[in-house]
Amino acid sequence: MLKKAILNWRDMMILVHAVKAAEEVKPSQQAKREVFRRYGVLGSDRDPLLTSIFYRVMMRQGILDRMIKEATGVNNVLLLDAWLRSALRLFMEIEVFSRRWVSFNDPYQVRRRVSAFLSRRAHPYAGMWFYDVSWGLRKYRPRPKGWEEELELKYLLPSWYVKRITGLIGREEAEKYFEALNRRPKLSVRVTHKGTVDEVLRELRESGVKDIEISGIVPGVLRFSGPFDFDSSKTFLEGKFIIQEESAALAAVLLDPKPGEFVVDLAAAPGGKTELLGELMKGEGVIHAYDIDRRRVERMKKLLSRTEIENVVIHVKDGRMAPSELGKGVADRVLVDAPCSSDGTIMKNPDLRWRLMEDEVSKFAQTQYELLKAGLKLLKAGGIMLYSTCSMLKEEDEDVVSRLLSKEGRKVELVELGGPYEPGFLKGTMRAWPHKHPTIGFFYAKFRKVK
């Protein structure tokens, strides 16, 4: 019989803090690491257990919120104090979904301590209310309404997303895709121009990494099972390899910039693709990198410094402004790796699934279209533009491409992509699917400006 893991009140307060921090700091892995480090848990013997529970809450968050609403009568869980909301999510996960393998050493003490913690952090009444309702969570059981909610509960994905993907590829194929989103992915890194594959392989193996795969699609991409301590890796700190998925790196490879060219990256941060563009250009020519997210831009600056890519001019601005700043008909190549729903990365970012909002899809699609129009203005006649997203939603992929071709068909043509992944739903486009390819989901379309 499987021995139950035992949680004490301190474990629960650390987890409440981590779940709350995950609402404010993205990605959630970073939030968890910061909280665990603060409490001395990071790397300790409690780390694996608390990490497992943390990710179970992240993956089931939307379902937990609906259950809390039904169990407590609260109209909108998001209107509760953030500390209280985090505690309820955590207790609902443990009492309903994890009760077979997790229990409290003293249920009364745990509730009293967490209640007192909430009274200090939020409001005295919050702690009192939590203590009362937390006992009732033990009796609650989810009640799906319809097949969408059944799949939502089974695969931990919003019902609207389940419906859209099922309508796109059919239920049988969709369930294979949903299963892939819930598998823990391997870590993926790319060796830069500063290092060699053999050098990085040697360090990984000396660190105890065994199951290393070498990509046959993007040179220098390696995959292996974690965990791996990047902060203590000599070759990583020296910029000899960076964290990057195969499908993400492929976008820069497909654009295929040449040394000496004028290249524009319209949504560049945190800079992995920009860095590879610089490598492919051998440091010759110029890359104008645009992004409005200052925190991600800072990460890009550090990445480019560490990998010694020096031909990048960074603009902390909206990429749609680039034609008015750089001029029209100036660029040899343009990369539009556009902001998107990012649902293709759920396997790497488990809490992202509950930040997906159906009404945001059309807004993303409009921004993507406007970035493509800006890229088209920047291109010289005969210039190449690569459009990519990490979304699997047709509205952000093929539909955006079709719209550009419909509106600007006299100025631009689609360059057919014949691989290495699967054809998209529009002839000439391409998709990487997590259940078919060993990488995150990605979409690609390549354009040439008509002379």
**46 and 110 in a common domain:** yes
**63 and 125 in a common domain:** yes
Residue with tokens 């019902």: 159
**252 and 238 in a common domain:** no
Percentage of the chain surpassing pLDDT 70?
A: 99
**345 and 255 in a common domain:** yes
Asked whether residue 1 carries a pLDDT value surpassing 50, the answer given is no
In three state form, how does the secondary structure of 398-423 look? HHHHHHHHHHHCCCEEEECCCCCCEE
- Mean pLDDT computed over 28-47: 92
Asked whether residue 333 carries a pLDDT value surpassing 80, the answer given is yes
CATH number at residue 89: 1.10.940.10
pLDDT in tens, 198-251: 999 999 999 999 899 999 999 999 999 988 889 899 999 999 999 999 999 999
What residues contact 320, with CB distance under 8 A and at least 6 apart? 266, 370, 371, 374
**414 and 282 in a common domain:** yes
Backbone angles phi and psi of 287, in degrees to 5: -120, 120
d(CA 395, CA 189): 30
- Mean pLDDT computed over 311-316: 98
pLDDT in tens, 117-147: 999 998 889 999 999 999 988 888 888 888 9
What is the tally of structural domains in the chain? 4
**311 and 287 in a common domain:** yes
Range of the domain at 394: 246-449
Among 268, 297, 300, 390, which one carries the catalytic annotation? Answer: 390
- Mean pLDDT computed over 93-117: 93
Domain boundary among 202, 217, 243: 243
d(CA 55, CA 294): 28
Q: Give residue 93's pLDDT.
A: 95
**206 and 281 in a common domain:** no
Domain boundary among 227, 243, 259: 243
- Please check whether residue 235 is in contact with residue 203, taking contact to mean a CB–CB distance below 8 angstroms: yes
Confidence of residue 4 (pLDDT cuts 50, 70, 90): confident
**42 and 170 in a common domain:** no
Asked whether residue 294 carries a pLDDT value surpassing 50, the answer given is yes
Q: Give residue 385's pLDDT.
A: 98
- Mean pLDDT computed over 333-350: 95
Maximum Cα–Cα distance for the chain, whole Å?
A: 75
**229 and 118 in a common domain:** no
Asked whether residue 2 carries a pLDDT value surpassing 70, the answer given is no
Asked whether residue 71 carries a pLDDT value surpassing 90, the answer given is no
What residues contact 32, with CB distance under 8 A and at least 6 apart? 18, 21, 22, 51, 54
CATH number at residue 427: 3.40.50.150
**253 and 205 in a common domain:** no
Confidence of residue 27 (pLDDT cuts 50, 70, 90): confident
Q: Give residue 38's pLDDT.
A: 95
Cis, peptide link before residue 27, omega less than 30° from 0: yes
Average pLDDT, the chain: 95
**310 and 161 in a common domain:** no
Q: Is 340 a catalytic residue?
A: no
pLDDT in tens, 399-428: 999 999 999 989 999 999 999 999 999 999
**424 and 343 in a common domain:** yes
Q: Give residue 344's pLDDT.
A: 97
